[in-house]
Homo-oligomer: A and B are copies of this chain.
Amino acid sequence: MVWNTNLRWRLPVICLLLQVALVVLFGVFVRYDSDADPHWLDTKEQENSTSDMENEFYYRYPSFQDVHVMIFVGFGFLMTFLQRYGYSSVGFNFLLAAFGIQWALLMQGWFHSYYQGYIHVGVENLINADFCVGSVCVAFGAVLGKVSPVQLLIMTLFQVTLFSVNEYILLSLLEVKDAGGSMTIHTFGAYFGLTVTWILYRPSLHQSKERQSAVYHSDLFAMIGTLFLWMYWPSFNSAVSNHGDAQHRAAINTYCSLAACVLTSVALSSALHKKGKLDMVHIQNATLAGGVAVGTAAEMMLMPYGSLIVGFICGIVSTLGFVTHVAFTTCMACPASSAPSWVL
């Protein structure tokens, strides 16, 4: 965690200013959702008495906690494969995500949950805020080690804002279906990250290239990130699907796609290595592409074999992209982002 010590007051001041602004905006705009507010529930129960179990909380909360783990442990540890930045990776990811979820609750709230003069926040808003921050984590991967925490906070501020506008245009105006957020989250995040990298690019940065080597223990930490992302992806893709069979189907489809993706990633990684060895970085990145690619269609009647085909193709395309450097920087940004060429 090294940055210009002459500017030492910038981080504290910006953190406090942002947090004060958030407190004020929450005070003015944010209230509880009807499912979290006893007054609304009283009215509802007078009309027709329902079970407590019908609360949105019980439909969404287990998936929410899984998504939360993906954002903080999954993305945080995924980046530790870069030896020197392992520590910053986890810590800075923590900082930007904690700020991002608050700002996302507001931005997404204004677009999607604003009525009767207030943003109404429930567990589904928490999940969507985590999704939005997932997009920032993807972009963070592209700029890791090149930016200070202050720059990261500013990047998060802009990206969450743009994300929400983009999401509003795609989902509300164009009425695109994008359950797992392949377009809004992963592709957007990857290209945003690339753009930021391009803006920040200075030739002198090449000198620090040797810092990017991985070490043994760093890789094991990175596997913690990879595995939690991989395991919980079915929750990611089904967290905000419709109740019942749609949520059920989204989980099954993602499970199938992810499993298929592992085998084709291993096959390509081994085939493209001159000694036939496996490169763990390929595995870490490509295996997740299956979850991203199936995201958009996860709750549709894709059929299990359809999901396997998606995973099959993704494992190949993303490993190829990684090895041939065509999509190198994109892939660096995030496991997920290696899929866009197929998604689009």
Contacts and interface: CB of A to CB of B under 8 A. Distances in A.
A35 B249 CA distance: 9
Given A23-B309, A304-B26, A309-B23, A35 B245 contact: yes
A76 interface: yes
A245 B41 contact: yes
B26 A305 contact: yes
Interface stretch (A5-13, A165-173, A191-199, A325-333): A5-13
Contacts of A137: none
B126 A252 contact: yes
A333 B251 CA distance: 31
B69 A36 contact: no
Contacts of A5: 275-277
A280 B31 contact: no
A112 interface: no
B305 A23 contact: yes
B123 A251 contact: yes
Contact of A245 (B36, B76, B216): B36
Given A126-B255, A231-B73, A223 B267 contact: no
A86 B223 CA distance: 11
Contacts of A231: 65, 68-69, 72-73
Contact of A19 (B22, B72, B264): B264
A270 B18 contact: no
Contacts of A309: 23
A61 interface: yes
A304 to B, nearest CB: 4
A256 interface: yes
A264 B62 contact: no
Contact of A15 (B31, B54, B99, B266): B266
A58 B216 CA distance: 40
A259 B102 contact: yes
B266 A37 contact: no
Nearest to A309: B23
Given A9-B271, A12-B271, A73-B228, 6 more contacts: A52-B243, A53-B243, A72-B231, A73-B227, A76-B223, A98-B263
Interface of A: 1-3, 5, 7-9, 11-13, 15-16, 18-20, 22-23, 26-27, 30-33, 35-38, 41, 51-59, 61-63, 65-66, 68-69, 72-73, 76, 80, 86-87, 90-91, 94-95, 98-99, 101-102, 105, 121-123, 126, 149, 216-217, 219-221, 223-224, 227-228, 230-232, 234-235, 243-249, 251-252, 255-256, 258-260, 262-264, 266-268, 270-271, 275-278, 280, 283, 287, 301, 303-305, 308-309, 312
21 contacts: A7-B276, A12-B266, A12-B268, A32-B303, A53-B58, A55-B244, A56-B248, A57-B247, A61-B251, A65-B235, A69-B228, A87-B216, A87-B280, A94-B287, A95-B262, A99-B259, A101-B255, A123-B248, A123-B251, A126-B251, A149-B266
